[in-house]
Amino acid sequence: DSGVTQTPKHLITATGQRVTLRCSPRSGDLSVYWYQQSLDQGLQFLIQYYNGEERAKGNILERFSAQQFPDLHSELNLSSLELGDSALYFCASSASSGRASNGELFFGEGSRLTVL
């Protein structure tokens, strides 16, 4: 158990809909990362938050948005869903504090999104 909790584990929805994925990081971790993994694809970095602020952005679509709340949990919002958005969405956390750190990421078990 990594200590990172993601909900829901599975989600089936229709094209055009909007969903919210939730992530609770390990206790004490300030950084949260979101990744997308499509079938047979690698982990695509979407976005990173550190202590409530956006720190780095990757290949995140404009239809997607995220935020990190004061209690450090994070949400990834996916809107106007398309078939191609079907994927595993992983959240990871780390103890990164902005200084040189171990950089080790602790991943949740993912949220599997199916868009029909």
Partner 1 sequence: SQKIEQNSEALNIQEGKTATLTCNYTNYSPAYLQWYRQDPGRGPVFLLLIRENEKEKRKERLKVTFDTTLKQSLFHITASQPADSATYLCALGSTGGFKTIFGAGTRLFVKA
Nearer to partner 1, 34 or 115 (CB): 34
Instruction: Please report how close the Cβ of residue 42 comes to partner 1 at its closest, in angstroms.
Output: 3
Contact present, 44 and 36 (Cβ < 8 Å): yes
User: To the nearest whole angstrom, how small is the minimum distance from the Cβ of residue 66 to partner 1?
Assistant: 14
Residue 25 bridge partners (DSSP)? none
> What residues contact 112, with CB distance under 8 A and at least 6 apart?
9, 10, 11, 87, 88, 89
Q: Which residues bind partner 1 (CB under 8 A)?
A: 2, 4, 31, 33, 35, 41-43, 45, 48, 55-56, 58, 88, 90, 92, 94, 96-110, 112
**Number of residues that make up the chain:** 116
Kindly tell me which of 17 and 59 has the beta carbon lying closer to partner 1.
59
